[in-house]
Amino acid sequence: MPAIYLSCLSQPSRLNKERAWHWHFDPRMHSRAPFLVAFLLISAPFCLSAATDTCQVNRNNNANTIIVDQSGKGDFVKVQEAVDSVRSGNDQWTRIHVNPGIYKEHVEIPMGKPCILLEGSGLSQTIITGDGHAQTNSSATFTVSSNNFVAKRIAFENSYNRGAAVDSITEWEPAVAASVYGDKMAFHECAFLGFQDTLWDVQGRHYFNSCHIEGAVDFIWGSGQSVFEDCAINVTAGLLPKGVLAGFITAQGRQSATDPSGFVFIRGTVSGIGEAFLGRAYGPFSRVIYHGTTLEAVVAPAGWNAWKYQDHVKNFVYVEVDCGGPGADKSKRVPWETKSLSYSELQAFSRERFIDQDGWIGNQLA
């Protein structure tokens, strides 16, 4: 019952990452993970009442709207000020509309402030940006920990090391653009821009629709239970320091056979510069599926990397189904890649059955 225990603790698994000087170096710490999982399961009965599962609209069947505008023509000039104005325990959909501009700030939506719709004016027009780096638990430009959250047409950027070649491994550090902790979260036409660890998909059920996600190393990572539909994945591994052979698109952290987490890519594209693996294992039961995705030549021929879980390859669920493009050639894939799924097995990873069993996506304010 992931929706119960994942919504109970505000920041249950913010494990720092160590510096990743080379593509095969271990940049994360796992020692606290078993304790955290046990704690979450034990704690679930005591905090179930704290979760907000539904959000209401006002009498006009609309959301209350707060305007953020840098020129002072709105209610607030900073995004965080608008978030702070939402009352704790909010159960009414509240729209925070952010007018065009580059907002240089770190924004956090804490647990206890659900039912927020954060809306920009276009992912190339409204950008929240920062340059925090070194520690994943403190570098994120944008963090959302509460349930029932929607973002539309807005970009989240960590500008550290983004857009230019990294000359030295001593200048290469984790830099998170967005950390996503809550359950029932949807991102529509959003951008996540960074270099390493761009999107920390920590936990909970998440839906990414027509998003742009960019990075070089582990730039979609964590233990979320997420569907990426019609998303453009832009690899920038060609900017890695000399001697770093390849990047990694995903680092999924499923911990057991009963862990519901996994990353499912439906349609969309994988393109960019350099070379990157479709994923490397961030847990002994790591699970990533590409279905109907166009894979360009940027995909490494081997496809997948076991990282430090070489003894667990039989547990991985790494699948490519009906993919096309030059990167979809599987003749040189690792021998332990999951070869196929039956129709019924594949259906279990549809949006409706994998994350939307209770219809929460359709119930959110569009």
What CATH number corresponds to the domain at position 170?
2.160.20.10
DSSP secondary structure code for residue 322 in this structure? S
Q: What is the pLDDT of residue 61?
A: 63
Mean pLDDT (whole number) for 42-69: 65
Q: Specify the pairing of strand 155-158 against strand 126-130.
A: parallel
Q: How far is CA 213 from CA 89, 171, 230, 294, in A?
A: 31, 22, 11, 15
Determine which one of 197, 201, 259, 356 is catalytic.
Answer: 197
The pLDDT value given to residue 59: 60
In the chain, what are the helix, strand and coil shares in percent, each to the nearest 5? Answer: 15, 35, 50
Residue 210: pLDDT above 50? yes
Of 219 and 26, the structure prediction assigns the larger pLDDT to 219
Name which residue leads in pLDDT, 3 or 247: 247
As a whole number of angstroms, the distance between CA 231 and CA 16 comes to 28
Residue 149: helix, strand or coil by DSSP?
strand
Residue 52: pLDDT band (50, 70, 90) is: low
| Token code pair at residue 300 | 């490494």
Tell me which residue of 180, 132, 135, 137 sits closest to 158, measured CA to CA.
132
Handedness of CA 201, 12, 315, 29 (dihedral sign): positive
| pLDDT, position 23 | 36
- Judge whether 218 counts as a catalytic residue: yes
Burial 7-45 (b: 16+ CB within 10 A, else e): bbbeebbbeebebbeebeeebbeeeebeeebeebeeebe
One-letter amino acid for residue 260 of the chain: P
Average pLDDT, the chain: 87
What is the number of domains present in the chain? 1
Cβ contact 276:237 at 8 Å: yes
- pLDDT at 11 (0 to 100): 37
Q: Give pLDDT, residue 57.
A: 80
- Catalytic hit among 201, 218, 259, 356: 218
What pLDDT does residue 54 have? 80
Token digits of residue 354 = 């994998």
Name the residue type at position 359. Answer: G
Is the model's pLDDT at 330 over the cut of 50? yes
State yes or no: pLDDT of 102 exceeds 50: yes
Residue 22: pLDDT band with limits 50, 70, 90: very low
The set of residues, in sequence order, having a beta carbon less than 8 Å from that of 158 and lying 6+ positions away, is 129, 130, 131, 132, 133, 139, 140, 141, 175, 176, 177, 193, 194, 195, 198
pTM of the complete model: 0.88
Residue 12: which pLDDT band, with cuts at 50, 70 and 90?
very low
For residue 327, the tally of other CB atoms under 10 A from its CB is 24
pLDDT of 342 over the 70 cut: yes
The mean pLDDT value for 156-183 works out to: 92
Q: How far apart are CA 144 and CA 44, in angstroms?
A: 20
Residue 183 annotated to the active site: no
Write down how long the chain is. Answer: 366
Q: How many helices and strands (H and E) does the chain possess?
A: 6, 26
Q: What pLDDT, in 10s, does the model give residues 235-265?
A: 999 999 988 889 999 999 999 999 999 999 9
Is the pLDDT at 279 greater than 70? The verdict is yes
Say whether pLDDT at 306 is over 50.
yes
Domain that holds residue 340: 2-21+28-363
Q: Which of 285, 156, 288 is nearest to 218 (CA)?
A: 288
Q: How far is CA 188 from CA 81, 285, 290, in A?
A: 23, 29, 19
Contact indicator for 227, 264 with CB cutoff of 8 Å: yes
Print burial letters for 162-177: b (CB count within 10 Å at least 16), e (below 16).
Answer: beeebeebeebbbbbb
Contact between 213 and 231 under an 8 Å Cβ cutoff? The reply is: yes
What per-residue confidence (pLDDT) applies to 167? Answer: 85
